[in-house]
Each structure stands twice: as structure tokens, then as C-alpha cells.
Amino acid sequence: MKKILITGSLGQIGSELVRRLRDLYGKDHVIATDIRRTDDSKIIHSGPFEILDVTDAKNFSRIANKYNVDTIIHLATILSAKAENTPLHAWNINMGGLVNALEIARNLDTKFFTPSSIGSFGPLTPKVNTPQDTIQRPNTMYGINKVAGELLCDYYYNKFSLDTRSVRFPGLISHGTPPGGGTTDYAVEIYYEAVKKQAYTCYIQKGTYMDMMYMPDAMDAIIQLMEADPAKLRHRNAFNLTAMSVEPEDFAKEIQKHIPSFTIHYQIDPVRQSIADSWPNSIDASAAKNEWGFHPQYDLEKMTIDMLTNIESDNNIGIK
């Protein structure tokens, strides 16, 4: 039976993944960890939970050995916009934590997953139908961390035969957890504001296309990749993923089908806009489809219906 340790478990991806994996493998087989404890979190009370600062290699190793884990899913990270505000701190967390996680995985001979991002690309990367294998010269600390992380995971696979696997996530959209400081967070905020206020002020300029994915598809992708036959994986670190290429007006138009009074306005954040401008407009995910069968289930229309329905239900708010 699997014993899976997940870092960053209270974040957007982590909380969703812990819930899914506990349903799949049993609550006692998924060990959630985070640097903080939030007593009202269902994650903490639904199974094993440990306080973990991923830069503390000794405690990280102690927890992994305590539960005799066979899989490490390393999600702890400082996201793109926050990383630009505190670049040295982001380097220490994103790279120091990753090195610790890889070393512990190597010592315990576990399977290993950590996500990369479309932030690993940069202004010199082809922006339309971005290839799986292409130039990666990001100009943000977050992007640099992600490129370095991809290479480091490749190194551990080639040098130590560690079973490393990764994906380049696009912007992830979820109703289950609040935004965490990412450039694509507007795609989450717009739904909440649509339900609560029927209006949203967007920090990303209209016409700025970025790749997005609904959280259920992201969870399926992680599970499917980790269960895939390793012999079929040529691009381990990391696979391009996408479900839709969209800009703010696309979200607004889809929301207006359900909330006709909804309006969108713009107040551009120059930091996040400059990050968005350095990322691709659309991504080629054919390698993931061919090597392990990736196939998203949600498009913009289906996702919008699900987001609005769940936000209304979760917050006991009627859409006007």
C-alpha cells in the first residue's frame, strides 16, 4: 500500500490533492505537511499531519522515515508574484526545499513528483503552440527556480536512477482554496467577485492570453502520471499541460451567460502583467497525451458552470 508524503499541503494544489489521494488510497496513507497549522482545515483533521519547514532537512527526513513513505510529492513553493517581491527568500524556499526533498527521496528510494510551471518559459520561448522541448530563458525568480528544478530532477533521475516525474502546470483554477500569489490568480478571483459583487477589477490586461486548467483535471494529471508505466516516460521533468488558452474577456463573456449584469474593469498590476507577457499564449501538450494519456475533461464553458455553482453553494450566496 502506498505511503505518500505531501509538502505544501495547505496550498491550492496541496489541499485538493490530499483530499483526492486520501479518498483513493485511505486517509492513513497520505501524510500532509505544511509550515503552518490551520486548525479549521479539514486536511489537518482528516488524516496524518505534520508541521514541516522544507528547508529543515533534518526534520524533513525524520517525518519521511517516521511514516516509511514510498512517494514524495513536493508542492511547497513561493509563487510567481510573491517570488518577485522576495526573490532571495523564494530561492531559499524553492530551491533549498527541493534539494532537501530530492535527497530524502534518494535516500529512501521513493517515487518523486514536483510541479514545474509555464513560468519556466520566458520571452524568447515561442509563444504560440509552445513546444515540449524549446528554449527556456525565464526572467523571473520563480521561472528560474522552475527551470533549475526541472534540470535538477533530471539530474537525480540520470545520476541516481530516482523515479522523478513532473508537469508544467498552467494557471490552475479552483473554488476550494483561495488564490496564493500567482500571476494567473485573476482567473479564480473573477468567479468569486462575479458571484458576490457582479463585477471584477482585473490586474491583467485584456487580450493577454495564458493557458489555464481546472483543478480536477490537474489532480487527475498528477495521479495519472504517477501511476504511468515508467518505461513510456521520455519527458519526465516536465510535461507541458494545458486545457484552454484564455484571456480575461473570455472569462467575462462566459460568466455573463449566467450573470448578465456582470462587468469587468481593469487596473493593471505592472509586476504581474510583465510576468504574464513573458509566458506563452498557448501550449502544445501532445507529449503528455502520447506518453501517458493526458486528456482534460473541462473546457471554459463546463468549468464556468461548475465554478459558479460551487462558489454559490460554498458561500450560501444566490446569483442575482
Active-site residue flag, 142: yes
DSSP string, 122-191: -TTS-SSSB-SS------SHHHHHHHHHHHHHHHHHHHH--EEE-EEE-EEE-SSS---S-GGGHHHHHH
The DSSP letter of residue 115 is: -
Q: Please return the burial class of 91, using the count of CB atoms within 10 Å of its CB with bins 0-12, 13-18 and 19+.
A: middle
CA–CA separation, 48 vs 27, rounded Å?
A: 8
Question: Is the separation of the CB atoms in 225 and 168 below 8 Å?
Answer: no
Quick one: which of 28, 312, 41 has its CA closest to 191?
Answer: 312
**Among residues 67, 142, 186, 200, which one is catalytic?**
142
Residue 126: other Cβ atoms inside 10 A: 14
Q: Please return the burial class of 235, using the count of CB atoms within 10 Å of its CB with bins 0-12, 13-18 and 19+.
A: buried
Angle between helices 12-25 and 215-227 (to 10 degrees): 50
Q: How many CA atoms lie within 13 A of 123 on its CB side?
A: 7
What is the C-alpha R_g of the chain? 19
Q: Which grid cell sits at 315?
A: 458561500
CA–CA separation, 206 vs 312, rounded Å?
A: 26
Q: Please return the burial class of 301, using the count of CB atoms within 10 Å of its CB with bins 0-12, 13-18 and 19+.
A: exposed
Q: Active-site residues: which are they?
A: 142
